[in-house]
Amino acid sequence: MDEEYDVIILGTGLTECMLSGILAVEGKKVLHIDRNDFYGGECASVNLTQLYQRFRNGAEPPKELGRDRDYLIDLIPKFLMTGEGLIKVLVYTNVVRYLEFSAIATSMVYNGGKIYKVPSTSGEATMSPLVGMLQKFKARSFFEFLQKWQQGEITATQKSDLDNKPMSELYDQYSLNEDTQEFIGHAMALYLDEKYKKQPARATCERVIMYASSAARALEDNRSSPYIYPQYGLGDLPQAFARLSAVYAGTFMLDTPVDEIVRDDKGVFVGVRSGEQTARAKQVIGDPSYFRNDVRKTDRVIRAICILRSPIPKADADSAQIILPQRQIGREHDIYVTCLSSQQKICPQGFYVASISTIAETSGDPKEEIAAGLKLLGPIEQIFVSVSDVYEPVNDGTADNVFISRSYDATSHFETVYEDVKDMYRRITGKELVLQKRPEAAGDATA
């Protein structure tokens, strides 16, 4: 460990492992350390015993739940959308070859006390009961505008308007009512609150286009939703990027305590000390747990893991995502519900793992805050509830060479993780992340 590196990375969460792989491919000498004896950090997938150790003080799991090794339960529930940035990184780095994916059977949205399938195309959207009869023509005009934009058929002035006009004004321009806005903003653009309406319209339009293109690709592949999921759990994602880093000579040290972040007299990063050994580097990257004095709390996320013996009633599928828009349940933030089964190889046959996540809005009982989501699940065999703080770095890292990732949020997909990776890469290297095919490394063919 007493060596000089280009970069030291602390923690093996997805953000850290993506950067580890990308930087190693670019020829950086990388040392990657984790205090845990497993990969994934807060986004690990755990077996039943590990789940009970974390939530039930090490109590023995009930035997009727089946074999411990048949469970790989995500601590942070998320799905991948086939058109999102993380998929592009997986493909361009060829990390995708280390993984197997399973289609998520359905994507649904809660409206008026019932759950409905989220349409897969703009045509389906205008026929959906989620869009009122009088709104269908107006919604069709909006989607036609997005289609023209996607095909490069709108004027420079129209493009400029999207950067200067808030999304609320674009909705008004097409006379879209609150129900249609909710469907577009929450079921398609996947915003978890209403703040996006005050932001420039371009970001929302890009999100809707990403959803529509992902859904279209799903239809081509005979899938009924735009979401996919890695077999054996999300914990395989950071491990796959760690494998890429190792192929390009990245050094990994798990179960290694980090005793000190060493800085010079100006506060600039110098190295990392573990016991009597110190590794030196020009830069350090890490998750917030390694830099408690350099981050600030922005939110709290409620997450619940539920083991079921039957799929979610009314969803009519062995895997699903259900979005509960905030307006429908009297909250400021949406609630996300996911359900997986043995088809995804994360639990034994006859069992299902449902997860619920949202932003905490009170200091009261977290179960009360997610009650609307729990109600959809039917009988629950076991439930594990947590409330986690969400952190972001105080500084951008360019002054002290300390680059800290953001905590994982309550959103249902990985686009915010990808945005964080791009932002950190730009600050670390001084250039934009350009996705391109990676060169073959020695021994890569057999890695």
Q: What is the pLDDT at residue 222? A: 84
Q: What is the pLDDT at residue 4? A: 95
Question: What's the average model confidence in pLDDT over 313-333?
Answer: 96
Q: What is the pLDDT at residue 161? A: 84
Question: For the segment 125-136, what is each residue's pLDDT rounded down to a tens digit?
Answer: 667 788 777 788
Q: What is the pLDDT at residue 128? A: 74
User: How far is CA 366 from its chain centroid?
Assistant: 21
Q: What is the pLDDT at residue 445? A: 47
Please report which helix (H) or strand (E) contains residue 420, including its range.
helix 415-429
**194-210 burial: b if 16+ Cβ within 10 Å, else e:** bebbeebbbebbebbbb
Q: Which two tokens stand for residue 60?
A: 């023995």
User: How far is CA 314 from its chain centroid?
Assistant: 26
Q: What is the pLDDT at residue 361? A: 98
pLDDT at 447 over 60: no
C-alpha 279/C-alpha 242 separation (Å) is: 19
Q: Domain tally for the chain? A: 1
Question: What's the average model confidence in pLDDT over 73-88?
Answer: 93
| Contact residues for 45 (Cβ-Cβ < 8 A; gap 6+) | 72, 73, 74, 75, 232, 233, 234, 235, 236, 346
C-alpha 209/C-alpha 147 separation (Å) is: 8
Counted residue by residue, the chain has a size of 447
Residue 157 covered by a domain: yes
Report the SS3 class of residue 98. helix
Indicate the burial class of 381 (C-beta count within 10 angstroms; 0-12, 13-18, 19 or more): middle
Residue 208 covered by a domain: yes
Question: For the segment 19-42, what is each residue's pLDDT rounded down to a tens digit?
Answer: 999 999 999 999 999 999 999 999
Residue 303 covered by a domain: no
* Cα-Cα-Cα-Cα dihedral sign, residues 393, 395, 396, 400: negative
Give counts: helices (H), strands (E), the chain.
14, 19
pLDDT at 433 over 60: yes
Q: What is the pLDDT at residue 1? A: 67
Residue 250 amino acid letter: G
Q: What is the pLDDT at residue 446? A: 41
Q: What is the mean pLDDT of the chain?
A: 93
Q: Which domain holds residue 127?
A: 119-220
Give the alpha-carbon dihedral of 57, 62, 67, 70, to 10 degrees. Answer: -60
Share of the chain above pLDDT 90, in %: 81
Question: For the segment 383-423, what is each residue's pLDDT rounded down to a tens digit?
Answer: 999 999 999 999 999 999 999 999 999 998 999 999 999 99
Neighbours of 294 (CB within 10 A): 17
Residue 431 covered by a domain: no
Q: What is the pLDDT at residue 224? A: 83
| Contact residues for 375 (Cβ-Cβ < 8 A; gap 6+) | none
Question: For the segment 349-387, what is each residue's pLDDT rounded down to a tens digit?
Answer: 999 999 999 999 999 999 999 999 999 999 999 999 999
Q: What is the pLDDT at residue 49? A: 96
Residue 188 covered by a domain: yes
Residue 367 covered by a domain: no
Question: For the segment 251-305, what is each residue's pLDDT rounded down to a tens digit?
Answer: 999 999 999 999 999 999 999 999 999 999 999 999 999 999 999 999 999 999 9
Residue 168 covered by a domain: yes
In 3D, which of 6, 45, 9, 47 has the Cα closest to residue 26? 6
Report the SS3 class of residue 141. helix
pLDDT at 74 over 60: yes
Q: What is the pLDDT at residue 196? A: 98
Contact indicator for 23, 6 with CB cutoff of 8 Å: yes
439 confidence band (pLDDT: 50, 70, 90): low
Question: For the segment 163-215, what is each residue's pLDDT rounded down to a tens digit?
Answer: 999 999 999 999 999 999 999 999 999 999 999 999 999 999 999 999 988 98
| Contact residues for 106 (Cβ-Cβ < 8 A; gap 6+) | 117, 224, 225, 315, 316, 317, 319, 320, 321
Contact indicator for 219, 122 with CB cutoff of 8 Å: no
Question: What's the average model confidence in pLDDT over 302-318?
Answer: 96
What CATH number should be reported for the domain holding residue 169?
Answer: 1.10.405.10
Residue 195 covered by a domain: yes
